[in-house]
């Protein structure tokens, strides 16, 4: 009897190995991307936590200055000690450093003659001065020839 051989599979062991290698490389790529993303999120969270800490420290310092002004026996001496500017209309203006390029700007109307204490401004303000770069001279006539208009 003639035994017929079973038909051989088209997909051989080599093709399976190539698919397995491709799947492993894909998993490796996705794991590296996940790691990079997690590290970026960690850095952003640390910056955010540092910024929040700086803000609340500046706010506590500004509150301490305000409390000192409201409870001071000698307002002028307290203002001078805290670098506070007192205006003629009864306002106190001062700034507290907030991080590297920011300050917490505070303006308070001090209580006087039945007028309550009022906070007019309590705002984080950028201390960075922006200077425009004007070094490119794009409209100079030295680079392109100016064509004369034809005479009619």
More confident: 138 or 70: 70
Q: How far apart are alpha carbons 57 and 96 in whole angstroms?
A: 10
Beta-strand relationship, 85-86 and 91-98? antiparallel
* Per-residue pLDDT at 87: 93
The encoded tokens of residue 100 equal 């590297």
Spatial distance between the Cα atoms of 145 and 23, rounded to a whole number of angstroms: 61
Is pLDDT above 80 for 66?
yes
pLDDT of residue 132: 78
Question: How would residue 64 be classed by pLDDT, with cut points 50, 70 and 90?
Answer: very high
Predicted pLDDT of residue 51: 93
Whether residue 66 contacts residue 59, with contact meaning beta carbons closer than 8 Å, is answered with no
Asked if 52 contacts 70 with a C-beta cutoff of 8 angstroms, the reply is no
Comparing CA positions, the residue from 79, 63, 68 lying closest to residue 122 is 63
119 beta partners: 108
Q: How confident is the model over 14-59, as pLDDT tens digits?
A: 888 899 999 999 999 999 999 999 999 999 999 999 999 999 999 9
Can you give the residue ranges of every domain in the chain? Answer: 18-126
Using 50, 70 and 90 to split pLDDT, how confident is the model at 127?
confident
Is residue 148 pLDDT above 70, yes or no? Answer: no
66 alpha-carbon distance from chain centroid = 28
Enter the pTM of the model: 0.67
The DSSP string of 36-95 is: HHHHHHHHHHHHHHHHHHHHHHHHHHHHHHHHHHHH-SSHHHHHHHTT-EEPTTSEEEEE
């Amino acid at each position: 009897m003639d035994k017929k051989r079973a038909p051989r599979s088209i997909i051989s062991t080599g093709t399976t190995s190539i698919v397995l290698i491709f799947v492993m490389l894909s998993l490796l790529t996705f794991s590296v991307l996940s790691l990079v993303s997690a590290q970026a999120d960690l850095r952003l969270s640390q910056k955010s936590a540092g910024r929040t800490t700086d803000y609340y420290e500046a706010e506590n310092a500004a509150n301490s200055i305000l409390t000192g002004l409201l409870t001071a026996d000698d307002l002028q001496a307290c203002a001078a000690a805290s670098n506070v500017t007192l205006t003629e209309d009864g306002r106190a203006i001062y700034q507290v450093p907030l991080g590297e390029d920011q300050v917490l700007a505070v303006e308070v109307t001090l209580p006087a003659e039945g007028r309550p204490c009022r906070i007019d401004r309590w705002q984080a303000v950028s201390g960075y001065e922006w200077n425009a770069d004007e070094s490119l001279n794009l409209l100079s006539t030295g680079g392109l020839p100016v064509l004369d208009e034809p005479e009619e």
